[in-house]
Chains A and B, each alone.
Chain A
Amino acid sequence: MIGTGYVGLVSGACFADFGHQVVCVDKDESKIAALRRGEIPIFEPDLDRLVEANVKANRLSFTTELKGPVSEADAVFIAVGTPSRRGDGHADLTYVHAAAREIARALAGFTVVITKSTVPVGTGDDVERIMRETNPAADVVVASNPEFLREGAAIRDFKHPDRIVVGTDDERGRKVVAEIYRPLYLNQAPIMYTGRRTAELIKYAANAFLATKVTFINEIADLAERAGADVQEVARGIGLDNRIGAKFLHAGPGFGGSCFPKDTRALVKTAHDYDVSLRIVEAVLAVNEMRKRAMARKVAAALGGSLRSKTIAVLGLAFKPNTDDMREAPSIPLITALLDQGATVRAYDPESMHQARGELPNIQYCDDAYACAKAADALVIVTEWEQFRALDLKRLKAEMARPVVVDLRNVYRPDEMAELGFTYDSVGRPQQLL
């Protein structure tokens, strides 16, 4: 497993748990050293136990040396990062290409090289060409096997996927991948074989569609607010339609995270390269981009229009609960906008504050929700961590300078908040109705 980040570490640990012999490779020495000491570099529920158990059983090990494990492997997964390239939003494939070259040099015997990283259509062709150029003698098949796990529920997702997509036309390649996933297959997870380019596109199309779904309901939320409807009800009513489904219809501050923003951008760029405009996805990106700063205006509106010299308590920084990942979290542009408008910001997040400090140096980090709320003019809920769902509201109110709550995840009930004396605003729920 080349690359021991979120995807590589989770996939590696789960494969080991299935009974395979797995070596996780990363060139980040401190990360490997930490793993060898039994420390888990990321926050992911249950991952520590899974890693520990499989290390003990001698099925899982960690190294910075790529050559040995690759030469002995039946299958090599590429799970390195594919961030947005600075400037143009294309997927940055330098890590993938570099890993491919290193792998090519180390290959020995028949090996299936499998791209697990999210890569634009045609990258599999590149990887194959790199293999052939670097090591013409290698007996290698390049397959695509995009990963759909979600951070925060990564192990469950990996072990209970909706589907496993395997992109290769090569029979030998298919056999090896089928063998790797056999335990899941027995668990009824459908395995779908298709062409490599199609597999690559499936990953982007799925993420772009989910981003569209979220953004669609966000726009409906804004309309609901103005037209006197309740977006929670609208989402329930449309989600009951089994052609639509209830998932990903939660209105909020806009999508973020390590995948949706970069993958939608990369898909749009790929399409442009082929002279196609994916206009819906382009609209989704533009709408989502503007939304996060619009949320800061919402906070300002709740405080009468101005944020100058106001103290704002922000609960939740990670892009979603149960992760410490801050990549493209909506909290970042939101907080930047609050600061731009003259506010002082205090923040608390259960797991991501160490990551956030780099991105957001000019705010005050607090020890818990109540400390964060202290003397604040408004409290903004940005990430729906479980612990924010049942706050002691009386205590919260006592801590605050003004009892104003802006709930960007609709975790509280407007009538309850009003009863407790809060000025309460949420997303897509009109105040006059409540």
Chain B
Amino acid sequence: MRISMIGAGYVGLVSGACLADFGHEVTCVDNDEEKVALLNRGETPIYEPQLGQIIADNVTEERLRFTTDLKTSASKADAVFIAVGTPSRRGDGHADLSYVYAAAREVASVLTDFTVVVTKSTVPVGTGDEVERIIRSERKNIEAPVVSNPEFLREGAAVYDFKHPDRIVIGTNDDRAREVMNEIYRPLHLNASPIMYTDRRSAELIKYASNAFLATKITFVNEIADLSEKIGANVQDVARGMGLDKRIGPKFLHPGPGFGGSCFPKDALALAKTARDHESPLRIVETVVDVNDHRKRAMAKKVAAALGGNLRDKTIAVLGLTFKPNTDDIREAPSIPLITALQDFGGRVRAYDPAGMERAKQVLQNVEFCANAYECAADADAVVIVTEWDQFRALDLKRLAAVMACPVIVDLRNIYAPDEVIRNGFLYNGVGRPLSLSY
């Protein structure tokens, strides 16, 4: 299959590279010239395990190309994937569809014969209808069924996820389009990943409902963590006890500083907005969004509490800036509102992240960026663990205590055993684990 992938961001680049790896002929199109130039020089613009290798291999095999020339790529393709961004619209939180519609218009203007147009971007229910209208109005005589094929990969494990998905959702009622999609995903299907065919609107809703549910699961356990702290229960065990229930499952039951990232916040918000438009408010999702918004600043108060209530002139070492480990993405990372709040409360912030500092420098002011965890902790009054990078899981606690002004750890990811940290002379504060507990 000849595939044209419009948008070479996280999703487009990973999808394009993996589809090429399956044996398809893929062109990744992006209107960001710098990005395309970078890719053509053999550099990978994002941090993602395995991605560089797959790109290099498939470029060598001539199955993967990068271009800014949408016309040549899309006009020759059997399938055109739209994988451009759908950020939150400023002001109202709705999904901003201007990139999707612009891409659809460009694609429509170059199609020459039967082509399947696939929306991979996360888009609200009904967007497929609009894309179809756009294509019809530009190209009346060409058959171009519009399919929804939402993507579920996670940054940090994107290549693995793309190649081992829990399911592939394909929303279309058009038989020819199904055939093409089936052909594209056949290698995964043979790998036992179920393909689920459904109608387009349901497919669009599946993506939002999945993300909103996962956001709900995280926020649920975050609230249980706060309760656990107050009543003397251990949220780690509560989560384990809940997660053993097969109807619940252990995933996404890790308490922390609140969810962030490029998807959950914007998707949960966009779903809530879509629902309001349909006069069918999703009150659970709305509550989740609101609780999560408040949580990040609450974490700053937690840091203040660990230091006796006041952050004025205190130095806080923040470990981890990205919204999760193994990515350099800091979009809506909890670290940002957390750090801003620490500064608002009078704290000085030093920070270290293995991959996210470059991007963080563009959004955070007055933060001192350091070369490693120990340098970051030097003379600090507290270390705050915000992202659970593996390298933060086994810090040399003696060395850490020695360099700090005051040995306090606020572990927002519960990656340490409290007794171990306390044994090393620290004051320790996790999430949902009261200090009085011995287990």
Contact = CB atoms under 8 A, between A and B. Distances in A.
A219 B282 contact: yes
B427 interface: no
B205 A224 contact: yes
Given A229-B199, A275-B230, A276-B226, A283 B204 contact: no
A240 interface: yes
B426 interface: no
Contacts of B169: 237
Interface in B247-271: 247-249, 251-252
Given A192-B240, A226-B279, A241 B152 contact: yes
B282 A248 contact: no
Contacts, number: 211
Contact of A224 (B202, B219, B227, B244): B202
B102 interface: no
A233 B206 contact: yes
Nearest to A199: B241
Given A197-B233, A229-B199, A279-B290, A223 B284 contact: no
Contacts of B204: 229
Contacts of B203: 237
Interface stretch (A31-39, A49-57, A67-75, A207-215): A207-215
A236 interface: yes
B439 A227 contact: no
B224 interface: yes
B118 to A, nearest CB: 16
Contacts of B393: none
A228 B127 CA distance: 12
B224 A201 contact: yes
Nearest to B198: A233
A159 interface: no
A134 interface: no
B228 interface: yes
Contact of B219 (A121, A208, A280): A280
Interface in B275-327: 275, 278-288, 290-291
A205 B238 contact: yes
B343 interface: no
A219 B274 contact: no
Given A212-B216, A220-B205, A206 B233 contact: no
A198 B233 contact: yes
Given A234-B209, A242-B249, A280 B202 contact: no
Interface residues of A, number: 66
A124 B216 CA distance: 30
A270 B241 contact: no
Interface string A160-203: 00110100010000000000000000000010101101111110
Nearest to B207: A237
Contacts of A226: 278-280
Nearest to A244: B213
B395 interface: no
B31 interface: no
Contacts of B233: 121, 195, 197-198, 200-201
B167 interface: yes
B287 A238 contact: no
A206 B280 contact: no
B263 to A, nearest CB: 13
Interface in A247-298: 247-248, 270-271, 274-284, 286-287
B246 to A, nearest CB: 5
Contacts of A275: 230
A192 B241 contact: yes
Given A205-B224, A205-B238, A240-B166, A248 B230 contact: no
B125 A227 contact: yes
B206 A169 contact: no
Interface string B212-241: 111011011001101110111110011011
A230 B202 contact: yes
A118 to B, nearest CB: 13
A6 interface: no
Contacts of B223: 276-281
A136 interface: no
Q: Considering residues A121, A201, A213, A245, which has the most beta carbons from chain B within 10 angstroms of its beta carbon? A: A201
A281 B220 CA distance: 8
Q: Which of A192, A205, A236, A270 has the most chain B CB atoms closer than 10 A to its own CB?
A: A205
Contacts of A222: 280
Name the residue among B202, B281, B288 with the largest chain A CB count within 10 angstroms: B202
A271 B241 contact: no
B196 interface: yes
A109 interface: no
B40 to A, nearest CB: 36
A174 to B, nearest CB: 13
A270 B228 CA distance: 11
Nearest to A202: B241
Contacts of A286: 283
Interface string A135-164: 000000000000010000000000000110
B216 A195 contact: no
A413 to B, nearest CB: 15
Contact of A228 (B201, B210, B234): B201
Contact of B284 (A162, A202, A216, A237): A216
A243 B252 contact: yes
Contacts of A237: 167, 169, 196, 198, 202-203, 206, 209-210
B278 A279 contact: no
A328 interface: no
A275 B210 CA distance: 31
A128 interface: no
B346 interface: no
B288 to A, nearest CB: 6
A234 B206 contact: yes
Interface string A13-31: 0000000000000000000
Nearest to A228: B201
B231 A274 contact: yes
Given A199-B241, A284-B284, 13 more contacts: A121-B233, A192-B244, A195-B437, A200-B233, A213-B213, A216-B285, A234-B206, A243-B252, A244-B249, A270-B227, A274-B231, A276-B227, A280-B220
26 contacts: A169-B438, A194-B241, A195-B234, A198-B233, A201-B228, A208-B220, A210-B248, A212-B284, A219-B283, A220-B209, A220-B282, A227-B201, A228-B125, A229-B201, A229-B204, A237-B202, A240-B167, A243-B217, A247-B247, A279-B291, A280-B284, A280-B291, A281-B220, A283-B284, A283-B287, A433-B199
Q: Which 4 A-B pairs have the closest CB atoms?
A: A237-B206, A202-B241, A163-B244, A243-B251
